[in-house]
Structure formats: C-alpha cells, structure tokens
Amino acid sequence: MTDSLPVRVFADRTEASRTLALEVAALVRAINDSGRSAVLGLATGRTPLPFYAELIRLHEQGELSFAQVITFNLDEYLGLAGEHPESYRAFMSRELFDHVDIPAENIHIPDGTVSPEDLSAHCAAYEAAIRNAGGIDFQLLGIGRTGHIGFNEPGSPRDSRTRKVELDPITRQDAAPAFGGLDQVPEHAISMGCGTILEARKIALLAWGKAKATIVREALTGPVTDQVSASFLQEHADATFYLDAEAGSEL
C-alpha cells in the first residue's frame, strides 16, 4: 500500500462519520476565526448521509454554523430540474441545507437544466466561482464501483475540469433503484473534473460496505491511472480514506 495516502478504518460508518464531522467543524471554525468563509466541496449519494446527519447534529448543538460557509457540489444529473426528487439539488436541500443556517446564495450546484448551447459557459462559470471563492478548503468524496470520484468515469483525464460527462453503465445500474428503473436514469451529468477535485486543499473519501472493498483496494494500492479516477488521490498531499471495516476488508 502507498504510504502517501492515509487510510483510517473504523468499526462502522457512524463512527467514521462522527470523527470526520468533528474534524470538518473544527476546520470551518478555524477558517472562520481567521476572518474568511470556509469553502466546502460536497458529494451526494448514499455514502455521505451519516456524515450530513452528524453535521446537522453539531449545528443543532451550537457547535457548527454554516453562516460563513460556501459550498460547491461535485455534480448534477443533466436533464433534471432542482424540483426532481433525484436531482442532487433536491438531495442536498433534504439531507443538509434545509437543516442548517447556510445562506442560499452560498450554495453552488451545477444546473442540470442548462441548455446545450449554454453548457460550456455554465461549466466555465462554475470553475470561475470556485476560483473566486478562493478554492476549495475541504472536499468530500464518495467512490463509485467504477472508481469514479464525482462522475469522472474511467478515461477521465487527470487534468479534466467541470464538464458534461457520460455515465458508465455500472453507475446507471447502481442508480436505477432510486429512479424506479434503469430507463429513468439520466445518461449524462455535469461533473467537476479530476483536476478541479485535486486542487482542493484537503480531501476525504468515504466508503462503506463490502461492495466498495475491491475498488477501494484498487484506488489505494493499484497504479495511478485514469481507469480508476480515485487513484489520482495517491498523488494528493492531503487526502485521506475513511472506511468502515467492510470497505477496508481487502486491504
């Protein structure tokens, strides 16, 4: 295993999420105390749910305010409006934003309804907004069974930026139950690129369960390759994997 990429294996996802939530809360407070807003890159999917539950708990206990937090989500399904329950905008409202004190104008999620003509300008504006915010202080990631981070499927270049991507058949299959059938799952998304993600100053990748064990091992111990975009994290100065025992079982 590479010793440049720290791995922390916890008894279960609750303990892992609680630990990371305390660390992120401390980071936000430290950055706010230094006189600026904290910039968080956020993920959707099943994996971050217990982490967001912990952030909400810390907020309710008065230990974490989002008043000076700016967020950028990794991705959004192309073709879905924010009102669609499976859109990542709806997900983020439901699972985090509706429960904390984040100003609406501080929330950034790619617009899944952008027209084909406006798409590249929209992606460039997303990149510019990240830069104007001062870059991402902390990026949260899950990992797909294809090894994707964001929706950077196999073949996504190391220096890719926010753009339209085609979802891998495995990724669409994994999303099918939530959409009520494969034919309902969008074929494309807008995703931050590998290059965008790798510029975050601090990164945590979370993975739970047996189904992630093989791809976690490949990402951590396999070659750095665009066939497993999470393997690029091996070259990041401050990226850590937070695993439960099952996701870490092949290490």
- In the complex, the residues that contact ligand F6R under the rule CB under 6 A are 43-47, 74-75, 142-144, 148-151
Please say which residue, 29 or 172, places its beta carbon nearer to ligand F6R.
172
Both structure tokens of 167:
């979802």
Distance in Å, CB of 47 to ligand F6R, minimum: 3
Both structure tokens of 136:
């991402």
d(CA 118, CA 114): 6
d(CA 212, CA 210): 5
Please say which residue, 29 or 164, places its beta carbon nearer to ligand F6R.
164
Both structure tokens of 154:
């196999």
Distance in Å, CB of 153 to ligand F6R, minimum: 10
Please say which residue, 30 or 71, places its beta carbon nearer to ligand F6R.
71
* Identity at 83, one-letter amino acid code: E
CA distances from 183 to 81, 89, 177, 188, 223 (A): 17, 21, 11, 13, 34
Distance in Å, CB of 149 to ligand F6R, minimum: 6
d(CA 147, CA 228): 5
Distance in Å, CB of 148 to ligand F6R, minimum: 5
Please say which residue, 25 or 42, places its beta carbon nearer to ligand F6R.
42
Distance in Å, CB of 204 to ligand F6R, minimum: 12
Residue nearest to ligand F6R (CB): 142
Please say which residue, 56 or 65, places its beta carbon nearer to ligand F6R.
56
Instruction: Say which residue the tokens 């753009």 belong to.
Output: 163
**3-state SS record for 148-162:** CCCCCCCCCCCCCCC
